[in-house]
């Protein structure tokens, strides 16, 4: 069911007309009561009742608000023009806010892609774009938004690891923009049936579960050290290769294979060591 917007009559025009009609009917009832024409009095009483009932058709529409109209259970349209409006007094009216709203999910405990228990929460910014779907497609669209957002967040958490030292592998901690886009798209797909548009969705809380936080911190530190060492070794090997190549091209010194191996070993120790190297003065030749 899709929304149909209705342009209703302005209440500022109908109000003086109905008030004048009601006043005239009351005056006619009083005048007819003094006459012998009972039929005329009865008709004027009926007209007075109709005018009084018609006054119940006035309602206000606030800015960024839609009023869903139903006549005997059938959908009659949605009024969105702000101001005082008048419609059939027998229409039932349900107000639906079109303003941008946001809420934060609870701290959910789920397992990430690697099976590690984590705590995660998200902030979802949303608004209703179709009042008919929000009213008739789901029982309570606000509760539907809350439940489906948490479900999408749980599904997202299982698709990514908490952290990754590989820049090409997305993670919850290191690729927040990409994760936010994925979360927004997944929540929007779930809420589309309820006439809701997701404006933005971002992770607001992310942490390891308390029972493994200390162990995972040690593991995270160890992984960071290993990754850093790998970068250091790659850089050291490149520098040693460059040094040997430059010595060979400029023919500054001729080294046999044994001395090349010794030089490589010494350079790697200097470049990969955690402490500064201690200089040693060699007063002889390189073969002594």
**How do 58-61 and 83-86 pair as beta strands?**
antiparallel
Residue 188: predicted pLDDT: 93
Question: Is residue 70 one of the residues assigned to a domain?
Answer: yes
Question: Is residue 287 one of the residues assigned to a domain?
Answer: no
Question: C-alpha distances in angstroms, 3 versus 10, 59, 77, 129?
Answer: 21, 20, 7, 9
Per-residue HEC secondary structure of the chain comes to CCCCECCCEEHHHHHHHHHHHHHHHHHHHHHHHCCCCHHHHHHHHHHHHHHHHHHHHEEEECCCEEEEEEECCEEEEEECCCEEEECCCCCEEEEEECCCEEEECCCEEEECCCCCEEEEEEEEEEEECCHHHHHHCCCCHHHHHHHHHHHHHHHHHCCCCCCCCCCCCCCCCCCHHHHHHHHHHHHHHHHHHHCEEEEEEEEEEEEECHHHHHHHHHHHHHHHHHHHHHHHHHHHHHHHHHHHHHHHHHCCCCCCHHHHHHHHHHHHHHHHCCCCCCCCCCCCCCCC
Write out pLDDT tens, residues 101-128.
Answer: 998 988 889 888 888 888 999 999 999 9
Indicate whether 105 and 182 sit together in one domain: yes
Domain boundary among 41, 61, 95: 95
Handedness of CA 186, 191, 192, 196 (dihedral sign): negative
Indicate whether 130 and 69 sit together in one domain: no
Indicate whether 115 and 202 sit together in one domain: yes
Question: Is residue 184 one of the residues assigned to a domain?
Answer: yes
Question: Is residue 155 one of the residues assigned to a domain?
Answer: yes
User: pLDDT (tens digit, 0 to 9) for every residue of the chain, 288 residues total?
Assistant: 788 888 878 878 888 888 888 887 777 777 776 665 566 767 777 777 888 888 888 888 889 899 999 988 888 889 888 888 888 888 889 999 999 999 898 888 988 888 888 899 999 999 999 999 999 988 899 999 999 999 999 999 888 888 776 667 888 888 888 999 999 999 999 999 999 999 999 999 888 887 766 666 776 677 777 777 777 777 777 777 777 777 677 666 666 666 667 767 766 666 666 666 566 655 555 555
Work out the number of other CB atoms within 10 angstroms of the CB of residue 191: 24
Query: At a CB cut-off of 8 Å and minimum separation 6, what does 212 contact?
Result: 116, 117
Domain boundary among 208, 242, 260: 208
- Give the global pTM: 0.67
CATH of the domain at 132: 3.30.479.30
In sequence order, the β-bridge partners of residue 93 are 69
Indicate whether 73 and 42 sit together in one domain: yes
Residue 147: predicted pLDDT: 93
Indicate whether 113 and 197 sit together in one domain: yes
Residue 52: predicted pLDDT: 84
Residue 69 is part of which domain span?
9-95
Number of domains composing the chain: 3
Residue 235: predicted pLDDT: 76
Indicate whether 79 and 107 sit together in one domain: no
Residue 18: predicted pLDDT: 80
Write out pLDDT tens, residues 201-216.
Answer: 999 988 888 776 666 6
Indicate whether 178 and 121 sit together in one domain: yes
């Amino acid at each position: 069911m899709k929304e149909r917007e209705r342009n209703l009559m302005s209440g500022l025009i109908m109000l003086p007309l109905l008030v004048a009609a009601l006043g005239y009917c009351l005056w006619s009832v009083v005048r007819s009561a003094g006459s012998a024409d009972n039929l005329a009095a009865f008709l004027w009483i009926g007209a007075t009742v109709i005018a009084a009932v018609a006054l119940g058709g006035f309602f206000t529409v606030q800015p960024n608000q839609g009023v869903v109209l139903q006549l005997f259970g059938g959908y009659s349209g949605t009024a969105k023009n702000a101001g005082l409006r008048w419609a059939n007094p027998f229409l039932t009216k349900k107000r639906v806010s079109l303003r941008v709203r946001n809420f934060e999910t609870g701290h959910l405990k789920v397992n990430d892609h690697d099976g590690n228990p984590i705590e995660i929460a998200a902030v979802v910014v949303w608004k209703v774009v179709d009042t008919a779907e929000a009213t008739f497609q789901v029982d309570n669209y606000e509760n539907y938004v809350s439940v489906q957002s948490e479900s999408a967040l749980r599904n997202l958490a299982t698709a990514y690891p908490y952290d990754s030292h590989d820049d090409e592998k997305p993670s919850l901690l290191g690729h927040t923009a990409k994760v936010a886009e994925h979360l927004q798209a997944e929540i929007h797909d779930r809420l589309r049936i309820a006439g809701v548009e997701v404006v933005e969705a971002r992770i607001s809380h992310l942490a390891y579960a308390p029972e493994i936080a200390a162990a995972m911190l040690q593991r995270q530190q160890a992984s960071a050290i290993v990754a850093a060492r790998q970068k250091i070794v790659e850089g050291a090997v490149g520098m040693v290769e460059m040094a040997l190549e430059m010595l060979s091209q400029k023919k500054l010194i001729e080294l046999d294979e044994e001395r090349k191996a010794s030089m490589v070993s010494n350079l790697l120790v200097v470049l990969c060591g955690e402490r500064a190297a201690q200089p040693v003065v060699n007063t002889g030749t390189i073969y002594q």
